[in-house]
Structure 1
Amino acid sequence: MVNRITLTSSRQLRSALGPLLFGVLLLASVASCAAQPAESLPYVASVRGEVFYWVGCDGWRSLSPGNLRGFASAADARAAGYRPSRARGCSGPAETAGHGPTETGTCTVVRIVDGDTLVCREADERVRLLLIDAPEMGQGEFGERARAALERIVPPGTVATVELDLQQRDRYGRLLVYLYSPGGEMVNAALARAGYVVAAVIPPNVRHVDRIRVEIEAARQAGRGLWSGSAFDCSPAEHRAGRCD
């Protein structure tokens, strides 16, 4: 693939290979990214450009959608020969977070709704865990097992800490958080590690996306939790869309 060649820019590569071979490699690169929309990953770049952008900024939105390619991490983008954008806030979430303190608060757990949603006493509202998606309660035993897993980590009465990302609420009005147990463990990551969730990446909330992806992939390969069976043969998103048998 293009990202394994030592030349560091598409312009250099075109010159070295000639337009015909470059075009073939370019199409192959685009095809390799087609399985997953580029903008669903935390970093994007144009196949015709030389810089990459964090999706939490607006710098990449003028790029042609047909030319976008996505990367799971900044390191992957650099390995592909791209350099980070110098536009403010576009090199990654760490840079953006540096412009202000991380917003945190307290959540006294009232009840567990499902494997990724709970109710906090402080606001008497539903709180949705970021970057993960658990089976729905309508998915039989899978939904109940995921709900029980969350309840084991933060049972009702637990005083947990919430961390907010850039977008604080979803379209349903739920507060979007990274939740931490009294011992400091990130609950989102704990559920991923135990094998009860899949990734659900919705920019601009991608602060801990690399960590969550690593935990989920490790759980999948080890067959932990719901990965030991057929729970994710139909993802929660597919179930909600009515695409499961």
Structure 2
Amino acid sequence: MRGRSSGGRWLVVALGAGVMQLAGATSRLGAQGADSVWVNTRSGVYHCAGTTYFGKTAQGEFLAEMAARAKGYRANGGRACGGRSAPPATDRPDASPSSLLGPIAAAGDDTPPSAPTGPTIECTVSRISDGDTIECDALGKVRLIGLDTPEPDQEPYGSAATAALASFVPFGAVVLLESDAEARDRYGRRLEYVWYKGRMVNWDLVRHGWGVTLHYQPNVRYAALLDAAQARAQAEGRGLWRIEGFRCQPKAHRAREC
């Protein structure tokens, strides 16, 4: 009885702390409270409302599901809780290409790049900065080449793109970086094609509709493949295309044209 009472007191304290975290997350992310999940900060897994461990692990906090995915946390059991702007529920690293891309890819009509064509170096993902930028241990910021995703202030599209990137390359993943003609941009970020488990993440983001193509000479090695991926994603209404998330494209938004 004593242990159970102690556990009850602990749960009250934990839930109280969780509510405070939730209030902070809600104030930052607007009307996202209904999509809150419980993040186990020790295991890197988040739990949906109504499940066994929701609010009940020793270390954790409440976050909106998109925010949890953007920070690199993965869904318990690999299935998202159903947030409206969440990326596909099945994380790409554990799925086959045809299951993610549907019948078109299975039929061989839309072929992603199969392997790097230039030298690569390894990088351990330490942070997802936004929808097209990661950070690597010892290497700093890495800007994915050939695409552009909504800015963080283009909500909810910016958070959705960031969450999509986090689902493709989870926190702690060891990825391969392939450079093009230029090694860095004017901000000092590395310019790279990011490969994870045999797939180019740049291409996956465009093909699933979480980014649009953006090409700057001379870094255009895969421009044709990325353009083809965007055309199919737009035609099929994938990702943000489905909800007119690119009505004001990121480049135009930065220039304050829309």
Partner of 1:139: 154
Partner of 1:153: 168
Gaps of 5+ in 2: 1-116
Identity %: 44
* TM-score normalised per structure 2: 0.54
- Distance (Å, rounded) in 1 between the aligned partners of 2:252 and 2:221: 25
| 1:38-57 map, 5 Å | none
Partner of 1:170: 185
- Distance (Å, rounded) in 1 between the aligned partners of 2:207 and 2:214: 15
- Distance (Å, rounded) in 1 between the aligned partners of 2:220 and 2:157: 26
1:198 aligns with 2:177: no
Alignment partner for residue 224 of structure 2, among 194, 199, 210?
Answer: 210
Amino acid corresponding to residue 239 of structure 1 in structure 2 = H
Amino acid corresponding to residue 122 of structure 1 in structure 2 = A
| 1:39-78 map, 5 Å | none
1:188 CA displacement: 0.2
| 1:7-18 map, 5 Å | none
What's the secondary structure of 2:135's corresponding residue? Answer: strand
- Distance (Å, rounded) in 1 between the aligned partners of 2:161 and 2:239: 9
Partner of 1:85: none
Partner of 1:27: none
1:224 aligns with 2:238: yes
What's the secondary structure of 2:124's corresponding residue? Answer: strand
CA RMSD of superposed structures (Å): 1.0
Partner of 1:31: none
Q: Does the Cα contact within 8 Å between 1:128 and 1:174 map onto a contact in 2?
A: yes
Amino acid corresponding to residue 165 of structure 2 in structure 1 = L
Partner of 1:104: 120
1:102 CA displacement: 2.3
- Distance (Å, rounded) in 1 between the aligned partners of 2:251 and 2:156: 17
What are the Cα deviations for residues 148-169 of structure 1, in whole angstroms up to 9, with x where unaligned? 0000010110000000001111
1:122 CA displacement: 2.8
Gaps of 5+ in 1: 1-100
What's the secondary structure of 2:199's corresponding residue? Answer: coil
Partner of 1:58: none
- Distance (Å, rounded) in 2 between the aligned partners of 1:185 and 1:223: 22
Structure 1 segments of 4+ aligned residues over 3 angstroms from their partners: none
- Distance (Å, rounded) in 2 between the aligned partners of 1:160 and 1:186: 10
Q: Does the Cα contact within 8 Å between 1:108 and 1:157 map onto a contact in 2?
A: yes
What's the secondary structure of 1:177's corresponding residue? Answer: strand
Partner of 2:53: none
Q: Does the Cα contact within 8 Å between 1:112 and 1:156 map onto a contact in 2?
A: yes
- Distance (Å, rounded) in 2 between the aligned partners of 1:234 and 1:191: 18
Q: Does the Cα contact within 8 Å between 1:106 and 1:122 map onto a contact in 2?
A: no
Partner of 2:254: 240
Amino acid corresponding to residue 240 of structure 1 in structure 2 = R
- Distance (Å, rounded) in 2 between the aligned partners of 1:144 and 1:122: 26
- Distance (Å, rounded) in 2 between the aligned partners of 1:192 and 1:131: 9
Partner of 2:145: 130
Amino acid corresponding to residue 141 of structure 1 in structure 2 = P
- Distance (Å, rounded) in 2 between the aligned partners of 1:207 and 1:120: 23
Amino acid corresponding to residue 110 of structure 1 in structure 2 = S
What are the Cα deviations for residues 86-114 of structure 1, in whole angstroms up to 9, with x where unaligned? xxxxxxxxxxxxxxx82310110001011
* TM-score normalised per structure 1: 0.57
1:231 CA displacement: 1.0
What are the Cα deviations for residues 8-42 of structure 1, in whole angstroms up to 9, with x where unaligned? xxxxxxxxxxxxxxxxxxxxxxxxxxxxxxxxxxx
Amino acid corresponding to residue 165 of structure 1 in structure 2 = D
1:243 CA displacement: 1.4
Amino acid corresponding to residue 225 of structure 1 in structure 2 = G
